[in-house]
Amino acid sequence: MFMTAYISALLGLVGSAVAAGSRNITFQNPVLPGFHPDPSCIFLDDHDGIFLCATSSFNSFPGIPLHASRDLKNWKLVGHVLNRREQLPALAETNRSTAGIWAPTIREHNGDFWVLTTLVIFKGSDPFDDESWSNAIHFEYEGYDPSPWWDDDGQAYIVAGHSWRVAYGFSLLQSIDLAEADLDTGEVGEWRSIWGGTGGMAPEGPHIYRKDGYHYLIAAEGGTGVGHMVTMARSRDLWGPYEANPANPILSNANTTEYFQTVGHADLVQDGNGNWWCFALSTRSGPEYLHYPMGRETVLAAASWEEGQWPTVDPVRGDMTGWPVHPRSGRIPGTGLYTGRDDNLDFPPDGPLPAHLTHWRFPITASYTPSPPSHPNTLRLLPSRLNLTALNGNYAGPAGQTLVSRRQQHTLFRFSVTLDFAPTRQGEEAGVTAFLTQNHHLDLGVVLLPAEESGALALHWRFRAESYVAVPETLVVPLPEAWTEGKLRLEISAANSTHFWFSGGPDGRRSEMRTLMVASNEPVSWGFTGLLLGVYATTNGEDGDTPAYISNWQYRGFEQYLD
């Protein structure tokens, strides 16, 4: 009975959305591929018609990336809200692999830009200038996913999802809450529950929109797995009572065989032509939900919202149609990379690292030096004492981990670097990693270890992995003698949607490259983040300070799987 009603509602949703008007653009999801979950977006009419989206970053830094587009197809990284250690010093010592910053909401009000996240507020005057973002303003709440809203008198409110827990087989304390707030100080009034959702687990990710005399409340329910869905309620009064949309959910791929799953955590945006769009998160996993290393990505669908009615949203697929968009001319500010572009980095001297490169928590600045005098056009890495798992797979302390990476953004890809590394102490290691979190990563490194027969220290390849699911056994292979004096080429590639190839060999002699491990990507298909491809250096808890030099950093994206 439930399935019949669900399918009927879904078919009605599709029909009403498509019938509402002509579609004359095509685009492909995900619009922000790779680790870009929990999107929140606005349309900036007074910035020459730019769409601007913020997404979650968790422990990665810089945090809360901002992407901008004029045509909804080409998206440029224009900055990060969290870009300085002093903004949020506590990020240095978060004690969970998926802690940090998540579920941002971005809004503009009276010329100021606000980003609320769990559980801090950032205020900025120019979203294209990282320096304009304030230090974090903290506020108190027993929950997450906050979103601001202002009434006609300028009074600010925060709507958020109350922390949920499960006891005796039932979800308890689940609700969407609302409170008056002073966003400049973080002071909040009494939190009041305004809606309990439709019965799905963990109502969260709320936003409020004022339209046609109603307050429309959107929320995510069902958890962020394959049961994820977007629901809506409305009320004439901000404080309720809220009436649920009889056609809920307004967006979901639950109970389908679609490749795009976990669709939810949505935000609605009206463009300069008066048309509506829905941004949401999704994973490209199929209902099996086993292989999705890029994690939760940002997807887009056209929406219809007639006066006095409930909105309808097109179902999320890979190939989509949408409303006509007439992008205005002009350059999008910022020096960041457009999403989906390749890398070919040579690390010029005195320049900052490219904006799309990311660390795990705050980097120790001295550990990363572009083009040191003795090694031009390289990136010098000084090793961290901790390796990528660190203390317990969750905590790393304030000393940091030497890791620099970029997001996987294609199903099929090749990531490769040249490594110049001459360790002198046992345990010193440098290499490449497919890194999801401290407790989920696959690494191929060059490490100094005792030789099996002589016991003398010698260079070895080492592949090892960490995950909550089964991983390959650690592999240790001596480097061929002829390779030990020169530079090495290390590579991670994907030739299908389920496995990664880890390869190494002498730099400049590709024909001699060896595949050292073929590993399933299931161990790095987990949780709330998405895969980072990068390089690391560590002493594995021992003394040591030998630098590693990285050059000819390349990322090539070959293909996106859309179904």
* pLDDT tens digits, one per residue of 244-302: 999 999 999 999 999 999 999 999 999 999 999 999 999 999 999 999 999 999 999 99
pLDDT higher than threshold 60 for residue 167: no
Mean pLDDT of 325-334: 89
- Distance between first and last Cα of the chain: 28
Does the reported pTM lie above 0.85?
yes
Question: Measured on CA atoms in the order 487, 488, 489, 492, is the torsion positive or negative?
Answer: negative
Mean pLDDT of 341-362: 95
Mean pLDDT of 25-29: 97
Where do the structural domains in the chain lie, given as residue ranges? Answer: 25-322, 343-559
pLDDT of residue 164: 67
Residue 13, phi then psi, degrees to nearest 5: -60, -45
pLDDT of residue 6: 37
The closest alpha carbon to 516, from 489, 546, 496, 487, belongs to 489
Q: How far is C-alpha 424 from the chain's CA centre?
A: 37
pLDDT of residue 16: 40
How far apart, in whole angstroms, are the C-alpha atoms of residue 419 and residue 434? 16
The closest alpha carbon to 527, from 469, 448, 472, 475, belongs to 469
pLDDT of residue 390: 94
pLDDT of residue 329: 85
What element of type H or E holds 14? helix 2-19
pLDDT of residue 163: 78
What letter does residue 500 receive in the DSSP assignment? Answer: E
Mean pLDDT of 215-239: 98
Taking CA atoms, 248 is separated from 40, 176, 199, 237, 251, in Å, by 21, 16, 11, 21, 8
pLDDT of residue 1: 34
pLDDT of residue 187: 99
DSSP per-residue codes, 186-222: TEE---EEEE--SS-S--EEEEEEEETTEEEEEEEES
Three-class DSSP category at 439? coil
Question: Measured on CA atoms in the order 9, 15, 17, 20, is the torsion positive or negative?
Answer: negative
How far apart, in whole angstroms, are the C-alpha atoms of residue 74 and residue 31? 8
Angle CA 554–560–563, to nearest 5: 160
CB atoms under 10 Å from CB of 402, counted, come to 26
pLDDT of residue 13: 42
Three-class DSSP category at 270? strand
Phi-psi region of 212 (alpha: psi -120 to 50; beta: other; left: phi over 0): left
Three-class DSSP category at 446? strand
β-bridge pairing 25-28 and 40-44:
unpaired
pLDDT of residue 172: 56
pLDDT of residue 12: 42
Three-class DSSP category at 74? coil
3-state secondary structure 365-420: HHHEEECCCCCCCCEEECCECCCCCCCCCCCCCCCCCEEEEEECCCCEEEEEEEEE
Q: Which of 38, 145, 177, 204 is catalytic?
A: 204
CB atoms under 10 Å from CB of 212, counted, come to 11
Q: Which two tokens stand for residue 222?
A: 């069902």
Mean pLDDT of 403-420: 99
| Percent with pLDDT over 70 in the chain | 94
The Cα diameter of the chain in Å comes to 81
Q: Which of 48, 180, 342, 420 is catalytic?
A: 48
Residue 481 neighbours by CB under 8 Å, 6+ apart: none
The answer to whether residues 489 and 513 touch, using CB atoms and an 8 Å cutoff, is yes
What element of type H or E holds 9? helix 2-19
pLDDT higher than threshold 50 for residue 220: yes
The pLDDT mean for the chain works out to: 94
Q: Which two tokens stand for residue 370?
A: 């572009």
The closest alpha carbon to 468, from 440, 487, 429, 502, belongs to 440
Which CATH number does 25-322 carry? 2.115.10.20
The answer to whether residues 101 and 64 touch, using CB atoms and an 8 Å cutoff, is yes
pLDDT of residue 398: 83
β-bridge pairing 204-211 and 112-117:
unpaired
How far apart, in whole angstroms, are the C-alpha atoms of residue 54 and residue 369? 29
pLDDT of residue 330: 85
Which CATH number does 343-559 carry? 2.60.120.200
How far apart, in whole angstroms, are the C-alpha atoms of residue 273 and residue 327? 11
pLDDT higher than threshold 90 for residue 526: yes
Our answer to whether residue 48 is catalytic in this structure is yes
* pLDDT tens digits, one per residue of 41-99: 999 999 889 999 999 999 999 999 999 999 999 999 999 999 999 999 999 988 887 88
Q: How far is C-alpha 23 from the chain's CA centre?
A: 29
